[in-house]
Every structure is written in structure tokens, then in C-alpha cells.
Amino acid sequence: MKRFEFPLERVREWRLSELDLEMAAAAALAAELSRIAAERQAIEREREAAERSVLAASSVSAAELAALDAFRLHAENAAAAIDRRRQDCEQRIVHQRRRILEARQRCELLNRLRQRSLAAWRSGLQREEEALAGELFLARLNRERNP
């Protein structure tokens, strides 16, 4: 019997590479979310440091308070923009997870088909080997009876 060949092997390999690409895209989104979180923390640290420096001063001028207020407003606007980017990234992550799940299901389907095909091939190979063994036994028996 010929060696096992799964007719959809190229499709299966393509689906596996598709899954790898989806996983890589998810990893990139996770890295983006981490960068966004780091930006948010940096803005918060800068705002807190500015407030501490003004509060720690023995005397504060009106200009310094106005500058602190302007910076606080800038930090709030930046934080809001970062939060919108974070929400957008989280939505893309949810969408990407669905894509990964779908790609994984397609791969699993082809893997199950491959396993069934392999089991059928092995069964056929076993039947062929048993038939060949039977023929060899009968041929040897016939040769022993008719020298």
C-alpha cells in the first residue's frame, strides 16, 4: 500500500500558519495595551510630581498655581485620550480573540479529518497486510504439499 497522504494537508498547513499569524497579531495587541498602560502611568506620575512640587514649596505664586492647573488640565485630557486608545485596543483584542478561536476551530476540524483519514488508512494497511500474510501462508503450504 502507498504511504499515507492527507489530501487536505496543504490546506491544513495553511490554516496552521493562519492561526500563527492571528496569535502574532494578538501578541502585538497585548504589547500595544501594555504600552498604553505605561503611558497612562507616566502621565499620572508627572501630574502627581507637579502637584507635590507645588505643594512642597513654602510659597506659591498665582502663576505657579495657574501653570499647575493648566498642566493638570493637560494631564486629564491626555489621560482621557489614552483611555480612549486603551478602550479601542481592548475592543480590538476581543475581536482578535474571536479570530483566534475561529482559526483554532478550523485547524481542529482539519486535524480531526486528518486523524480519521489516517485511521482509515491504517485499517486498510492492516487488512492488506493480513491478506498478504494469508496469501504467503497458503503459497508456502502449497509449496510444502507439492514439492
> Does the predicted model carry a pTM greater than 0.85?
no
Task: Find cell 485547524 and name the residue.
Answer: 107
Neighbours of 36 (CB within 10 A): 19
59 domain-assigned:
yes
Note down the domain range covering 103: 9-119
Q: Would you state the pLDDT for residue 81?
A: 97
Q: Does residue 132 sit within a domain?
A: no
Residue 3 lies in a domain: no
pLDDT at 53 (0 to 100): 87
Q: Determine contact, residues 95/26, Cβ cutoff 8 Å.
A: no
Q: What are phi and psi of 59, to 5 degrees?
A: -140, 145
At residue 138, the pLDDT reads 87
131, part of any domain: no
Report the domain count for the chain.
1
Residue-wise pLDDT for 73-113, tens only, equals: 999 999 999 999 999 999 999 999 999 999 999 999 999 99
Q: Report yes or no on 106 lying in a domain.
A: yes
pLDDT at 146: 83
Query: What's the grid cell of residue 67?
Result: 501653570
Please check whether residue 113 lies inside any domain of the structure: yes
Positions of the chain with pLDDT lower than 50, given as ranges: none
Distance between CA 111 and CA 12 in Å, rounded?
A: 7
What residue spans of the chain are helical by DSSP H? 9-56, 62-145
User: Do 85 and 68 form a contact (C-beta atoms < 8 A)?
Assistant: no
Domain assignment of residue 85, yes or no: yes
